[in-house]
Amino acid sequence: MEPVKIWLQRNLKGDPILWAIVLLFSFISIAVVYSATGTLAYRNEMHGRSGSAVEMIALKHTALIVAGLGLMWLAHRVDYRYYSRLALYALLISVPLLLFTYLLGGETNGASRWMTIPVINQTFQPSDLAKLALISHLASMLSRRQQHLDDFWSTLFPVMLWVGIICGLIALTNASTASLLFATCLLLMFIGRVPLRQMLVMVVIGVTVGGTALASGQRWKTVQSRLTNFSDPTKKTPFQLEHSYIAIATGGIAGKGPGKSTERNILPHPYSDFIYAIIIEEYGLIGGAVVLLLYMAFLYRGLKTVMNSYGAFGGLLSAGLSFSLVMQALVNMGVAVGLGPITGLPLPLLSMGGTSLIFTGISIGIILAVSRGEPEVRPMTGEDPDAARIPSQRTAYA
């Protein structure tokens, strides 16, 4: 037992509770996706697609989870300061990828959000890369300019420019992802002590750019109909939301039991957009509450990493990524129980998916890298880039 403990301490660095939460989410995801993909397997078989059996779909999902955990492990081994440099390059790559996807990408449900990687024939969603890159670069820019936050042109203009470009490009095909990313950026700016008047300017720019991109993009009519259906009580409840309510209502307190969902055969995307409804149907309100508490525990550990970090960049980076994942989870769960309009956002760490699982793993790996508690010093000079600006992240966020 002692050698195992030593191996874990040597190879799984960072917050051990965060590691445990992620591993628990992974086991839950495998079990729920395996239960929810029966209809998908049948549909694939009817269309003559290979690998259509439920077991094969679950095996592929498990392989993607393992790949995500592997990338999380690799990301947490890297000194998180290097992500400050990589973020800009990732942003520069994201812009042409988002444009290419909008113009020539594969269409799903009336929106071009995917591109297919040649040779391996695997789909890729550039917005996931763009989200990670923008949050990381925003944390880097704010941390390096803590003493010049009132200087609009040298500090805030580059921030607003990148946020406007990335969120605008994503809004062309995915309004919910763009809106959530913009909200995360505003929250990160607030944590980074950006003056409120500058944030109001950011809101005006965001609404203008986002509204223009949405109106000229592919999802304007869909967004209109979903907002109308949610806000107008005289409208008939949308089909998927109606069956989500049925799943939750019939689940009761303890649920029907693993694999005994009936709404998985009726709900569109029960393994992705509405996986939370399937969790409640099979595991009851108890299971739904456990999942919600796990996300809250994840956010708490991410914010504890912020409190314990030794520099502005590490704290902002951990805060941005933690809030991004948990806010998306809350939106997804809120949609399933009728607290918001239908969005199509997956449930992080639980929904079936490829790109989402991979980049979620990388994001959590970066949070774990920050949680290792290394001071922000330049490798060659030993100089602390934040020493003259913010003595310690412990003080800045206390």
Percent of the chain with pLDDT over 70: 84
What tens digit of pLDDT does each residue of 273-311 get?
A: 899 999 999 999 999 999 999 999 999 999 999 888 878
Token pair belonging to 72: 């999380």
The residues, any chain, with a CB within 8 Å of residue 339's CB and separated by 6 or more, are none
Query: Does residue 321 or residue 146 have the better pLDDT?
Result: 321
CA atoms within 13 A on the CB side of 72: 26
- Distance, in Å, from the CA atom of 383 to the CA atom of 367, rounded to the nearest integer, reads 23
Asked if residues 355 and 290 have their Cβ atoms less than 8 Å apart, the reply is no
Smallest CA-to-CA distance from 214 within 138, 327, 115, 111 is with: 111
Task: Check residue 115 and give left, alpha or beta (phi > 0: left; psi -120 to 50: alpha).
Answer: beta
* Model confidence band, residue 28 (pLDDT cutoffs 50, 70, 90): very high
- Distance, in Å, from the CA atom of 108 to the CA atom of 43, rounded to the nearest integer, reads 16
Q: Where do we find the tokens 């934040």?
A: 386
User: Cα-Cα-Cα-Cα dihedral of 339, 341, 346, 351, to 10°?
Assistant: 50
The pLDDT, as a whole number, for residue 42 is 52
What tens digit of pLDDT does each residue of 61-105 get?
A: 899 999 999 999 999 999 899 999 899 999 999 999 999 888 876
Q: Is the per-residue pLDDT at 206 higher than 80?
A: yes
Q: Can you list the positions of beta strands (E) in the chain?
A: 106-108, 111-117, 122-124
Q: Is the per-residue pLDDT at 127 higher than 60?
A: yes
* Residue 122 DSSP SS3: strand
The pLDDT, as a whole number, for residue 397 is 35
What tens digit of pLDDT does each residue of 219-230 get?
A: 788 888 888 888
Residue 123, strand partner residues? 116
Token pair belonging to 236: 């008939």
Percent of the chain with pLDDT over 90: 42
- Distance, in Å, from the CA atom of 221 to the CA atom of 267, rounded to the nearest integer, reads 22
What tens digit of pLDDT does each residue of 109-121 get?
A: 556 677 766 665 6
- Distance, in Å, from the CA atom of 193 to the CA atom of 58, rounded to the nearest integer, reads 45
* Residue 113 DSSP SS3: strand
What tens digit of pLDDT does each residue of 237-253 get?
A: 888 899 999 999 999 99
Q: Is the per-residue pLDDT at 53 higher than 80?
A: no
Q: Which ranges constitute the DSSP H helices of 237-274?
A: 239-251
* Residue 106 DSSP SS3: strand
Asked if residues 121 and 79 have their Cβ atoms less than 8 Å apart, the reply is no
* Model confidence band, residue 385 (pLDDT cutoffs 50, 70, 90): very low
The pLDDT, as a whole number, for residue 212 is 87
- Distance, in Å, from the CA atom of 143 to the CA atom of 393, rounded to the nearest integer, reads 11
Please, what is the average pLDDT of the chain?
83
Q: Is the per-residue pLDDT at 189 higher than 60?
A: yes
Q: Is the per-residue pLDDT at 388 higher than 60?
A: no
Sign of the C-alpha dihedral computed for residues 219, 107, 88 and 322 taken in this order: positive
Region 196-216: mean pLDDT is 87
Q: How distant is the alpha carbon of residue 191 from its chain centre?
A: 19
Which span out of 148-152, 357-361, 369-373 was modeled with the highest average pLDDT? 357-361
Smallest CA-to-CA distance from 355 within 33, 128, 134 is with: 128
Region 124-137: mean pLDDT is 92
The pLDDT, as a whole number, for residue 250 is 92
